[in-house]
Structure 1
Amino acid sequence: MIGHAALVTAIAAFVACAVATPVLRRLALRWELTDRPGGHKSHRRPTPYLGGIAIMLATVVPPLALAGPAVARIAGILVGAVAMALLGLIDDIAPLPPPTRLAVQTLAAGVVVVSGVVAPVTGSRLDMVITLLWIVVVSNSFNLLDNMDGALGGVTVVGAALLSAAAFVSGQPETGLLLAALSPAALGFLLYNWAPARIFMGDAGSLFIGFTLTSSAALVVSGAGPGTATAGLLLPAFVAIVDTGIVMLARSRAGRPLLQGGSDHLSHRLHRLGLGKRLTALALAALAGAAGLVHLATTLGWVAPVAAAAAAGAAGCVVVVLAQRVRVYPSIRPKTAIRVRR
């Protein structure tokens, strides 16, 4: 019964997003909701937004229709995720001040925590604060990961599918259904976002995806021990966390603003090494798949959670350090001193 519901959910989400995305693309062009090239952006012509709204609708509606009253168990996640999508949409249309964005994100994460989604990292009441901060910070990490055609979409297809499997294994079918919708919804969107992209998901999509994945991961480990909880938070968000680490370290070392956009993400570094945009997206998806498989193995009891978390942390540090070797900032040559003849 659960397998049948998951299959129906996945098919419905894929078809819904594949059909809704071109419709919203035309509306975005009509309303001039486009991302214009310039600065660090690599696209050459105005590209419409609103893809994130298609992803959100295709992800939320099927589980609501199929889960019935049981959907109440993930109601906090659904409410918070939709709020994040709307926040991102407003920000896509008219950029909001960072304090306003942060306030809404904190409120949305608070709804999730109050609904009972708490990752038992320490086993104390401090876990409520840790979970809230984790959802906010990592949701923004996923937002930063949306920096190249197909990058975040590919990571979402693979990562959400494996996290869905972990949710079903953990006895949380409602969460599994939600993620079983998110993965094919992202795949339906990728039909139009694969390089060269014809539409972007915008902040509406990236914040929605990040919030849904991080909140779902916290819910999956809500009844586990500290080691399992730590691994369950780190592994599903591995690519986003590593990408943010790379960017923050590089900008800090270069004396650049930490929160200003730039072409210094993991995707840009892979691209500079010779990978095309499509191969870069596939490489990121493969990395998310590897982390997701390790997480699923810990859920099944095949791998010790503490070992998995330690290995993920070590691997992440190695990637962050190695990525710094790829030059992404223009070198500044010191001015040649003028010699004055006496």
Structure 2
Amino acid sequence: MLYGITAATAALLLAAVLAALLRSPARRLGVVDRRRQRPLPLFGGVAVTVATCAVAAVGDWTGVAPLGTGIGQLLGAGAALAALGLAADVWRLKTRFLVVGTAVAAACVVPYTETGVAAGLPAVGWIVCVTVAFKGLDHADGLVGTVGVVTAFGAGACAAAEVMDGLAVLLSVLAAALTGFLMHNWHPARVGLGACGSLFTGFVLASSAVQVRAGYGFGSSVGVLFALTAVAGADAVLVVVARRIAGRPLLRRGPDHLGHRLRRLGLTPQGATVVLGAAAFPAVLVAVLMHTGWLGAQAAFWVALVVLIALWGVLRFPVNGSRRPASTQVRAQLRVRNG
């Protein structure tokens, strides 16, 4: 218990310091994203990855908090995926390469001896989907960090219930590192996660959840895993459906995520992040209660129903209003002036 608190504190401080120190190098190297016409340095993901891996590795090396069977491999695969994400931040790799890399990493961490191949392959697909969904959440300041912290605590609680102490410590360290990063990522953000940090966060969370549910029934595991990552999954489904309806490419960035739509409804950037973080909490709580046996599998149905109703409402609400394009407005003004 004492080591867990110490490790979390160290990860929080280390991530906060590294995120501050890496802003200038990222800006000088041009590793930036555009957030509403402002350049955002993207080495925050390096800070989160290094802080999480370093603190977890020290605990395992000293024997104070051994990670346990397969958890070191999970952390190594996450670090390798973070390196691929960093390459994408620097050299703008196409999304398909990130998806393939995530699939390879996921295939290396699924515990097939406990899940079996029949359930292991869907687990690989689920890890890929969740990881990509978390990358998609990185479109607004503070969003991945907030949802990631909530999810990490939920997954950590499930790991603790299974007496998987090493995994529980890893997840608490990740939550602390994300919290330290959020000190610099809350709107207006001074540093961003980028593909490096968002892929690492999503992969570690999804892979940890699979490790925790290994050996349980397939149907009940689907419900727990869905509830645990409901907000990230809802955002991904919304984007896919909206872009299919509009005939836009799925992998091209656009202002059609949940965060964008909430802001068009009048919420501030901070408000949209708080709303989505608050929405993640009850879903994660349901997942924890299902995993520990306090709720039955039907609880996942109610979470799915709420998600579907919310998505239906968001898709139907005219978030874009009735604004005409700027060029159309200019022509209309000219016609008025010319009589």
Q: Same fold (TM over 0.5)?
A: yes
How many residues are treated as equivalent by the alignment? 321
Q: Which residue does 1:235 correspond to in 2? A: 227
Distance 1:331 1:267, change over 3 A: same
**Contact persistence 2:262–2:272 (CA under 8 A):** yes
Q: What is the identity percentage for the equivalent residue pairs of Structure 1 and Structure 2?
A: 35
1:325 shift after superposition: 2.2
Q: Which residue does 2:73 correspond to in 1? A: 76
Distance 1:119 1:140, change over 3 A: farther
**Pairing partner for 2:108 from 107, 111, 126:** 111
**Pairing partner for 1:322 from 313, 323, 330:** 313
**Contact persistence 1:263–1:328 (CA under 8 A):** no
CA–CA distance in 1 between the matches of 2:289 and 2:317? 33
**Contact persistence 1:213–1:236 (CA under 8 A):** no
1:288 match: secondary structure:
helix
1:46 match: secondary structure:
strand
1:243 shift after superposition: 0.4
CA–CA distance in 2 between the matches of 1:20 and 1:5? 22
Find out whether 1:63 has 2:59 as its counterpart.
no
**Pairing partner for 2:82 from 77, 80, 85:** 85
Q: Which residue does 2:298 correspond to in 1? A: 307
Q: Which residue does 1:194 correspond to in 2? A: 186
CA–CA distance in 2 between the matches of 1:254 and 1:33? 31
**Pairing partner for 1:28 from 26, 29, 43:** 26
**Contact persistence 1:119–1:221 (CA under 8 A):** no
CA–CA distance in 2 between the matches of 1:212 and 1:77? 7
Deviates more, 1:221-230 or 1:68-77: 68-77
CA–CA distance in 2 between the matches of 1:23 and 1:332? 42
Q: Which residue does 1:215 correspond to in 2? A: 207
**Contact persistence 2:264–2:320 (CA under 8 A):** no
1:46 shift after superposition: 1.3
Opposite residue 61 of structure 1, the aligned amino acid is A
1:19 shift after superposition: 0.9
Find out whether 1:162 has 2:154 as its counterpart.
yes
1:77 shift after superposition: 1.1
Deviates more, 1:135-144 or 1:219-228: 219-228
Residues 143-196 of structure 1: per-residue CA shift (max 9 Å, x gap): 001111111111112221222122111211111111101111111111111000
Find out whether 1:152 has 2:144 as its counterpart.
yes
**Contact persistence 1:234–1:309 (CA under 8 A):** yes
Find out whether 1:291 has 2:298 as its counterpart.
no
1:216 match: secondary structure:
helix
Opposite residue 301 of structure 2, the aligned amino acid is A
CA–CA distance in 2 between the matches of 1:210 and 1:297? 22
1:198 match: secondary structure:
coil
Opposite residue 82 of structure 1, the aligned amino acid is A
CA–CA distance in 2 between the matches of 1:119 and 1:250? 37
CA–CA distance in 1 between the matches of 2:298 and 2:114? 18
**1:267-286 matches, cutoff 5 A:** 267-286=259-278
Q: Which residue does 2:124 correspond to in 1? A: 132
CA–CA distance in 2 between the matches of 1:293 and 1:195? 26
Distance 1:332 1:260, change over 3 A: farther
Distance 1:67 1:232, change over 3 A: farther
2:316 match: secondary structure:
coil
2:67 match: secondary structure:
helix
1:263 shift after superposition: 0.6
CA–CA distance in 1 between the matches of 2:221 and 2:60? 26
Q: Which residue does 2:333 correspond to in 1? A: none
Unaligned 5+ segments in structure 2 are 329-339
**Pairing partner for 2:244 from 241, 252, 258:** 252
CA–CA distance in 1 between the matches of 2:254 and 2:112? 34
Q: Which residue does 1:46 correspond to in 2? A: 39
Deviates more, 1:295-304 or 1:188-197: 295-304
CA–CA distance in 2 between the matches of 1:118 and 1:95? 37
